Amino acid sequence: MRIDRARLPALGADPSLRFPEIRRRTLDNGLRVWTVEHHAVPLVSFLALLPIGASADPHERPGLAAMTSDMLDEGCGDLDALELHDTLGRIGGHLDSEIGSDATILTLSSLTRYADRASALLADMIMRPRLEAVDFHRVRELRLNRLIQLRDLAPALADRAFSRLLYGDHPYGHMPLGTEASLQSVTLDEVSRFHRTMFTPSRMTVVAAGDATHDALAATVESAFGNWRPLTEARQIDPTNWPLPPVPEQRLAILHRPAAAQSELRIGHIGVARRTPDYHVLLVLNVVLGGQFVSRINMNLREDKGYTYGARTSFDFRRAAGPFVLNASVQSEVTVEAIVEALEEIQAIRGPRPVTAAELHAGRAGLTRGYPRNFETAEQISRGAAQLALYDLPDDYFSTFVPKVLAVDEDAVTRAAEQYIDPSRLLTVIVGDRDKVAAALPRLNLGTASELVPV
């Protein structure tokens, strides 16, 4: 049969997706255990979520939360660091630890037959880290070295300057890694205290997903974490209570990198918290504006102008208002032209060129039809579940996602663009060669560029 190349084939009905069932229970010590069965491969994944991240760093000690989480796999319980990692290797374990503004997440996957061992090791790391001086000094030194190396990494410089200028002393104003001054002075005692006060069972959610029954997964977690007794009462930490900083007066800042091959750009302002009722509208808005390849920003800056390898926007949804930001690395010679185009696109979606019916349809379709992909592996499902726990989202969050996105209409998107994007507040940060950029900067009409000093 000859196929028809005159038109694209119709898609037909969307396949139905059975959402994985999450069973929830709470241990006597307050720790939440969520289980998900996923029988595709003989693996299990344990994810421990603590809703404490870099934003819980004491004001004078940026980097403490990340330093603390980095110490967890430096020996725990009966095992020193080398014994711990030897054991992890021998059970085929994959350990991953990450820290963001609002959360610390440890994930340990292993072969199903080692599930008990894996969950016991994860519990030991969280409940009984050794926190020994020799390990502390080494880890601190490695983190300081990492900071030194970041001086040459343009994306890291841009991220750091952008957060600092937007948030100032607000807990979102620093990178999880912290600063050299802070890491130089941090003590093991501070790390121990942070661990003791922040790592408590009532704060924690453990998501166990994989090739075992709900009951078996839950029993595994309970036997590992059930005897955890907090040493202190958990103090409430609620980022949404922190007052947001005022809009910075400067609109334009440049960090000079002599002879840089490109200019690293960040353009944005403080956005909105994850729990906003407009979450789904903002997803659609962002997909049209800059969230994916075919979005306006990328089609303009990359596919039309060739200024960059790629440009994206995002609303960085956090417990409190995270940034709305455009990221791109552009050829030095066209830095100002690229910023002009980017600002123009951000401005336009609020009114002059609001989202069209075709864009709305394509954006919603992409988000909803692509949704099943997020439920393929045990670890993906665990991470999805962790979002529910971290942001306190409703139990039916997954099953209502598609209808909520499909309910977004053009007016809602345009209204959201007007409400959540404010061109007059946008801050533009350039990390690049000032000499190739400076002469054209006045064309931006963003006032005098403040010159940033390398940290």
Site for another protein in 239-298 (CB under 8 A): 260-262, 264, 292-294
Residue numbers 394-433 binding another protein by CB under 8 A? none
Return the number of the residue (52 or 154) whose C-beta is nearest another protein: 154
Residue 325 burial class via C-beta count within 10 angstroms: exposed 0-12, middle 13-18, buried 19 and up: buried
- The minimum distance between CB 16 and another protein, in angstroms, equals 7
Task: Give the separation between CA 356 and CA 260, rounded to whole angstroms.
Answer: 38
- The minimum distance between CB 399 and another protein, in angstroms, equals 15
Taking CA atoms, 188 is separated from 194, 232, 363, in Å, by: 10, 19, 49
- The minimum distance between CB 117 and another protein, in angstroms, equals 12
Residue 401's contacts (CB-CB under 8 Å, 6 or more residues apart) are: 280, 368, 371
Return the number of the residue (12 or 243) whose C-beta is nearest another protein: 12
Which one of residues 28, 89, 185, 448 is an interface residue with another protein (CB under 8 A)?
89
Residue numbers 59-88 binding another protein by CB under 8 A? 73, 81-82, 85-86, 88
- The minimum distance between CB 446 and another protein, in angstroms, equals 24
Return the number of the residue (49 or 88) whose C-beta is nearest another protein: 88
Residue numbers 122-161 binding another protein by CB under 8 A? 138, 141-142, 145-146, 148-149, 151-154
Task: Give the separation between CA 181 and CA 60, rounded to whole angstroms.
Answer: 10
Return the number of the residue (118 or 191) whose C-beta is nearest another protein: 118
Torsion sign over Cα 135, 138, 142, 148: positive
Return the number of the residue (2 or 59) whose C-beta is nearest another protein: 2
- The minimum distance between CB 235 and another protein, in angstroms, equals 33
β-bridge mates for residue 207, sequence order: 34, 47
Residue 421's contacts (CB-CB under 8 Å, 6 or more residues apart) are: 324, 346, 349, 350
Task: Give the separation between CA 87 and CA 72, rounded to whole angstroms.
Answer: 15
- Nearest Cα to Cα of residue 301 among 331, 324, 325, 262: 331
3-class SS of residue 338: helix
Q: Are strands 32-37 and 205-210 parallel, antiparallel or unpaired?
A: parallel
Return the number of the residue (100 or 372) whose C-beta is nearest another protein: 372
Return the number of the residue (168 or 306) whose C-beta is nearest another protein: 306
Asked if residue 391 lies in contact with residue 319, where contact means CB atoms within 8 angstroms, the answer is yes
Which one of residues 256, 302, 404, 415 is an interface residue with another protein (CB under 8 A)?
302
Return the number of the residue (76 or 321) whose C-beta is nearest another protein: 76
Which one of residues 25, 78, 92, 96 is an interface residue with another protein (CB under 8 A)?
92
Judged by CB under 8 A, the number of residues near another protein is 77
The DSSP letter of residue 13 is S
- The minimum distance between CB 436 and another protein, in angstroms, equals 13
Residue numbers 36-55 binding another protein by CB under 8 A? 40-43
Tally of helices (H runs) and strands (E runs) in the chain: 16, 14
439 near another protein (CB under 8 A): no
Residue numbers 1-30 binding another protein by CB under 8 A? 1-3, 5-6, 8-9, 11-17
Which one of residues 19, 242, 375, 397 is an interface residue with another protein (CB under 8 A)?
375
| Strands ordered across the beta sheet of 104-111 | 23-26, 32-37, 205-210, 43-50, 104-111, 94-99
- Nearest Cα to Cα of residue 274 among 394, 429, 424: 394
- The minimum distance between CB 343 and another protein, in angstroms, equals 20
| Amino acid letter, residue 155 | P
Asked if residue 332 lies in contact with residue 432, where contact means CB atoms within 8 angstroms, the answer is yes
- The minimum distance between CB 105 and another protein, in angstroms, equals 19
Pick the stretch among 26-34, 108-116, 410-418, 435-443 that binds another protein (CB under 8 A).
108-116
- The minimum distance between CB 231 and another protein, in angstroms, equals 28
- The minimum distance between CB 410 and another protein, in angstroms, equals 17
Task: Give the separation between CA 419 and CA 143, rounded to whole angstroms.
Answer: 40
